Structure 1
């Protein structure tokens, strides 16, 4: 890497750090007094008193010109007041979407598949990690790992990129190579399909957006204790206040510290986090926000199992091992930490035009031990466990975005436009992988006292990626029922890494959609998206580990229908067709882009309260995926690895009328069989997991107290939880999760 490139990166690093510091100082230290009237009390998007609480409430993120029953359309400089209610979301159905170009829109007006997991659903399930949330979303499955340390995910059969597919508040890309807490999230949204028109260079599987909790109109002070049947124990706090003149300041702080005992004997560690969401209504026109999240974890990663070499085109998989037995030394943990900061400013010029600016940084660090069990005898289980020591891993994302939103008329037509630009810098420094091996038995593991170090090591050379884009979205209301949208993005992508050919790619990509309201509560839509996207990066097991693959163009068509039934029940059906340049690990163990895959499917979801006192979240997906082009003819017509034909989920909670405060729930989650590689030389079986739980809320000395128990993998099923990247993973055993919360 040249000194010029190093210097350029250093200057950008200092510039963005300075801007972040300035934003924080400005948000906390003050911009001086203002004589303009304060905003009416509003609840930020995603809080328990936000737009989700009332169908007539308008989100803070709603753009000018968007229809809302709460918008009085009055002239003047003061923003429209927002209706506040103290009730929670009715059932599990969302009212609005807070991801990408759809921020603030009614779900019925979104011409794409966006699945929202609400806070109520997270609470009912006792969600403690990211997969706990997104398992409620059709087409989401685990990839490569069992989720003990972090959640590798795929959507619609396509693996998400841990460095570019996960976002905080729809604006800041964060690295997903660490456990993601749910205690400080108000909702989790999955925007499926090609999303690069707004987010830039990323895989066409979609975007996972985690929306932070914010202070609403009601103060919050809660203390929780938690534990599980494995022996884990911890505590969490959630504090929120609005303060200052006219409650113009808001602060919400969440924190948790937990000693973790996993369902695997001898595997223990910790996870902890602290987060803060601060906002300041500087004036009737200007609002500032600052978000901070810091996470720390320690855990021993269970070994993935490498499929053996195929014989006559068939791989023989081992018998299912005991999921409670650790295959690796319990004194070789992975330490990880992540710090994310986001500063955002929103300014309203008038009733029709506004602008926003955001700047953020996310840094994840790991000293990692990654393990693979390989070269084994299927009958006896005797083989070799290989550990890769990777100290000094770092993933850094820096992101800047600015956009202007507004509406205007051309004759009888109303245009709602978004014009913006974004730039993201991704940096990963050098690190070296040292390899160790030991003899182990898959079926009867032994304690490993000694590791043998390999004479060779593998160097990873620093990566620099710059992803820039300018975009325009124009939504045109042709009638009160009919909307069309056209969009275009100019993208520039550059990357450099020693020993790897650099990239410098420019492309202009279009998209379009049409939405029609059949009735006030039913809409249909059709969309086409073409985008410069990423096929992802090479897995750690490949000879070119972590190499970012060349940019490619994906194309997607989708049609769908949504309806909102009584009980605020949202029903969605979508039919999609996605064509993506595909990557595979070839016979030289090099992960390369050399083909094309087609993903075609039908999705269904229902969220809400279809019956009084019963809240439901259900989803299902049928997926027909196959490789249509490849340099290897044996892959043609085959199903891409780790791609199930069918996934389904059903979760229901019943609030018992005879005993106020008591709720019982149950769920099932089905994932169909998946191929272990693109040649379909072996398949892991499908499985159904069952959950159960109960919650009871009452008042003790005037304080609200709740107790909760959730049973995961209720039948203690043994199953293969994931495939992909030349590994398969064993699912975790049964766990009872317990918690109790008191609100002061």
Structure 2
């Protein structure tokens, strides 16, 4: 109640500030002409493509999605897991409420350590990343060697930070949802000084979280500042700082009951198995900051220096539901699922004061020039990055038996009985990208070349000083593309590229080659497609083929020197995906579909060949529609369909496909003095469908996460 009163006070303060802010707004109408932006089209540049920020999405020989902050707000999305609502190639990958968001793209799990960017710089996503100060999210689909030294295949996610606007901006938002989740947010921007050379933008938000999931009350806070200085017409200095915090108990997954897949209709999706009296919230404390200097050298060339700093602190705590273990011998039957009667072992897990620090410096040069009849748009640079993780000992103690109804109670055991692992990484990446106009050979023909050379050094050691590993690797990842403009709006393309992953064999006695660096895993992708962009429709269709080497532990792995970590076949994901953003007077439709064939090939164990990966939906359809009705009222509707997923690696069980319907209303109300009110109301899972949303097989255990029940939300945004 105290936290609710605090939020009520915040609401009241924001509302009382409206008249003063409106007066201030009217006094500053002479600042700069107002610029109205609604969404982002194919004419908008996308930075994550790797070919600079001036190339429109529709002109790049790859598939990418760009989601604006407005589109996320209309759909009630406040976390990265919400990307699964919009793009058929994006799926859930162990998405637990109150915890880190995990995504898969084109059937591959993104690596939260290496597949995420913030304004183009690498960040660690092993935390709850705030979206309140983000202007949008970019998603690059496919192998990412052109953009990243090491990363999992599938794609990259780039968060775009809100920067000072040209015109004065004041937005206040109040929102309610679920069982009483209340949120308030402020987005404020002004320009100052002679000639308006200084800009400042402030984003602040607070939320008291009361989800439908029981025993999961929490809170979330955000404060972000972004400033710029237009020192000269050719020199731009940008700086920003962000602090955010989330505290909320997380949600363990359900599981198989012996050999049986429980019916989702028989399980209350509001049950939280993390409901012991001693359960504590997971707390994410995050700080981000960056400084960017852009210097235009002449009409064709510019240089940029971009420094980013990230400091993460996490208290990770959970009443962990896993398997059924004997409390004395620790033998388990079964180990990878709950017992047939719905019972399971509960572990008291606590890993507090986890520290993850990342720094990145990108020095780049970009420009245009000609060599004979060829036109070049070149970008080259050097990316230096550093990552350190520091942990303490952790608790991971068997404390009793739980039941699937969530009614069992066990004692706590916070004893720090297990070691953790500290990690260090340094990387130096040299990159070169060139877009070559080949009109001299054929009008509308363009070549795309990319090359990245990475020098990598990684070290790890347990918190007690044991199991130390250290290795260095160098590798080069190329990328090639060819595009042909068929009409001014329509383009055909083909591309081929490599991505790379790097790992070391755990330094444990059961391996016969512990601590040895494995050869870098080079994934390869071939893609062909068609793309078009206009004022009425942006669309693309692509066929892709990704091959990724697989590693496997071979041997009994139950005694010293009994296990060999070795390359063993490939994962091959082939698919067809299509997306379209249709726009008409008073409405539009964002549509996305994917058909995927993901299989294992070439394993020495013939029983593995031809199997599907667990938790991958091979068919998906996502629709988000909007239509204006009368007098500023807009109807919105969403449909998400995902096909069946394998639960176990041997494909012996699968969860059925499911469909979810969402609905919403948006009403824009114009008031005097240029003030606008935007009312939003929505219902997610309109039909209250019960289904297993996903089936991640993680840490040697099969998990089941239910589709969230019917959820309502309302909000009011005022623009002054």
| Shorter-chain TM-score tier | 0.7 to 0.9
1:317 match: 261
For 1:430 and 1:502, the matched residues in 2 are separated by: 18
1:742 match: 718
1:319, distance to aligned residue in structure 2 (A): 3.9
Taking the TM superposition and a 5 Å limit, the aligned residue runs for 1:378-417 are 379-417=340-378
Match of 2:611 among 630, 635, 638: 638
Match of 2:272 among 326, 332, 348: 326
More displaced 10-residue stretch of structure 1: 459-468 or 442-451:
442-451
Match of 1:247 among 187, 190, 196: 196
The count of aligned residue pairs is 647
Taking the TM superposition and a 5 Å limit, the aligned residue runs for 1:255-274 are 255-274=204-223
Q: 1:474 aligned to 2:434?
A: yes
1:149, distance to aligned residue in structure 2 (A): 2.2
Whether contact under 8 Å (2:42, 2:56) holds in the other structure is: no
More displaced 10-residue stretch of structure 1: 116-125 or 89-98:
89-98
1:533 match: 501
2:50 match: 101
1:182, distance to aligned residue in structure 2 (A): 2.4
Whether contact under 8 Å (1:491, 1:532) holds in the other structure is: no
2:240 match: 291
1:605, distance to aligned residue in structure 2 (A): 0.3
Whether contact under 8 Å (2:348, 2:413) holds in the other structure is: no
Whether contact under 8 Å (1:440, 1:446) holds in the other structure is: no
1:69 match: none
1:680 match: 651
For 1:417, what is the secondary structure of its paired residue?
Answer: strand
Q: 1:717 aligned to 2:717?
A: no
Structure 1 pair 696/94, CA: closer, same or farther in 2 (3 Å)?
farther
Structure 1 pair 551/721, CA: closer, same or farther in 2 (3 Å)?
farther
1:500, distance to aligned residue in structure 2 (A): 5.2
Match of 1:691 among 645, 659, 662: 662
Q: 1:465 aligned to 2:438?
A: no
Runs of 5+ unmatched residues, structure 1 = 1-82, 310-314
For 1:333 and 1:90, the matched residues in 2 are separated by: 36
2:7 match: none
For 2:406, what is the secondary structure of its paired residue?
Answer: coil
1:350, distance to aligned residue in structure 2 (A): 0.5
For 1:199 and 1:414, the matched residues in 2 are separated by: 26
1:665, distance to aligned residue in structure 2 (A): 0.4
For 1:334 and 1:676, the matched residues in 2 are separated by: 27
1:451 match: 412
More displaced 10-residue stretch of structure 1: 116-125 or 466-475:
116-125
Match of 1:123 among 61, 73, 84: 73
What's the CA shift string for 1:601-633, capped at 9, x where partnerless?
111000131x32112111011111111133443
Whether contact under 8 Å (1:318, 1:378) holds in the other structure is: no
Structure 1 pair 523/534, CA: closer, same or farther in 2 (3 Å)?
farther
For 2:39 and 2:315, the matched residues in 1 are separated by: 43
Match of 2:98 among 141, 144, 148: 148
For 2:426, what is the secondary structure of its paired residue?
Answer: strand
Whether contact under 8 Å (1:134, 1:188) holds in the other structure is: no
Whether contact under 8 Å (1:259, 1:270) holds in the other structure is: yes
1:180 match: 129
Structure 1 pair 478/200, CA: closer, same or farther in 2 (3 Å)?
same
More displaced 10-residue stretch of structure 1: 299-308 or 151-160:
299-308
1:212, distance to aligned residue in structure 2 (A): 1.4
Structure 1 pair 261/140, CA: closer, same or farther in 2 (3 Å)?
same
1:715, distance to aligned residue in structure 2 (A): 1.9
What's the CA shift string for 1:52-106, capped at 9, x where partnerless?
xxxxxxxxxxxxxxxxxxxxxxxxxxxxxxx986232268666321214132211
For 1:460 and 1:719, the matched residues in 2 are separated by: 36
For 2:689 and 2:312, the matched residues in 1 are separated by: 34
Q: 1:489 aligned to 2:447?
A: no
1:560, distance to aligned residue in structure 2 (A): 0.9
What's the CA shift string for 1:697-721, capped at 9, x where partnerless?
1134432112211211222222222
Whether contact under 8 Å (2:50, 2:146) holds in the other structure is: no
Structure 1 pair 127/430, CA: closer, same or farther in 2 (3 Å)?
closer
For 1:138, what is the secondary structure of its paired residue?
Answer: coil
For 1:256 and 1:286, the matched residues in 2 are separated by: 32
Q: 1:608 aligned to 2:608?
A: no
1:210 match: 159
Q: 1:668 aligned to 2:612?
A: no
Whether contact under 8 Å (1:647, 1:671) holds in the other structure is: yes
For 1:132, what is the secondary structure of its paired residue?
Answer: helix
For 2:688, what is the secondary structure of its paired residue?
Answer: coil
Q: 1:622 aligned to 2:595?
A: yes
Whether contact under 8 Å (1:503, 1:550) holds in the other structure is: no
1:673, distance to aligned residue in structure 2 (A): 1.5
Whether contact under 8 Å (2:668, 2:678) holds in the other structure is: yes
More displaced 10-residue stretch of structure 1: 317-326 or 640-649:
317-326
For 2:504 and 2:649, the matched residues in 1 are separated by: 16
Structure 1 pair 536/142, CA: closer, same or farther in 2 (3 Å)?
farther
1:468, distance to aligned residue in structure 2 (A): 1.6
For 1:120 and 1:233, the matched residues in 2 are separated by: 19
What's the CA shift string for 1:455-476, capped at 9, x where partnerless?
x832122111122211111211
More displaced 10-residue stretch of structure 1: 597-606 or 98-107:
98-107
Structure 1 pair 690/549, CA: closer, same or farther in 2 (3 Å)?
farther
Runs of 5+ unmatched residues, structure 2 = 1-31, 325-336, 462-466
For 2:407 and 2:590, the matched residues in 1 are separated by: 43
Whether contact under 8 Å (1:550, 1:593) holds in the other structure is: no
For 1:459, what is the secondary structure of its paired residue?
Answer: coil
More displaced 10-residue stretch of structure 1: 586-595 or 639-648:
586-595
Structure 1 pair 120/534, CA: closer, same or farther in 2 (3 Å)?
farther
1:228, distance to aligned residue in structure 2 (A): 0.8
For 2:243 and 2:565, the matched residues in 1 are separated by: 35
Whether contact under 8 Å (1:626, 1:640) holds in the other structure is: yes
What's the CA shift string for 1:239-268, capped at 9, x where partnerless?
011222221211111111101011112320
What's the CA shift string for 1:107-141, capped at 9, x where partnerless?
22201111111233223212211122453112111
What's the CA shift string for 1:646-691, capped at 9, x where partnerless?
11100001111x32x2111010111222223432232222211111
For 1:395, what is the secondary structure of its paired residue?
Answer: strand
Whether contact under 8 Å (2:505, 2:565) holds in the other structure is: no
The TM-score with structure 1 as length reference comes to: 0.82
Taking the TM superposition and a 5 Å limit, the aligned residue runs for 1:413-424 are 413-424=374-385
The TM-score with structure 2 as length reference comes to: 0.84
For 1:175 and 1:688, the matched residues in 2 are separated by: 32
Q: 1:564 aligned to 2:564?
A: no
For 2:41 and 2:689, the matched residues in 1 are separated by: 28
Whether contact under 8 Å (1:203, 1:536) holds in the other structure is: no
What's the CA shift string for 1:361-383, capped at 9, x where partnerless?
11221111132343276553222
For 1:536 and 1:559, the matched residues in 2 are separated by: 34
More displaced 10-residue stretch of structure 1: 180-189 or 619-628:
180-189
1:196 match: 145
For 2:667, what is the secondary structure of its paired residue?
Answer: strand
For 1:92 and 1:448, the matched residues in 2 are separated by: 53
For 1:408 and 1:565, the matched residues in 2 are separated by: 28
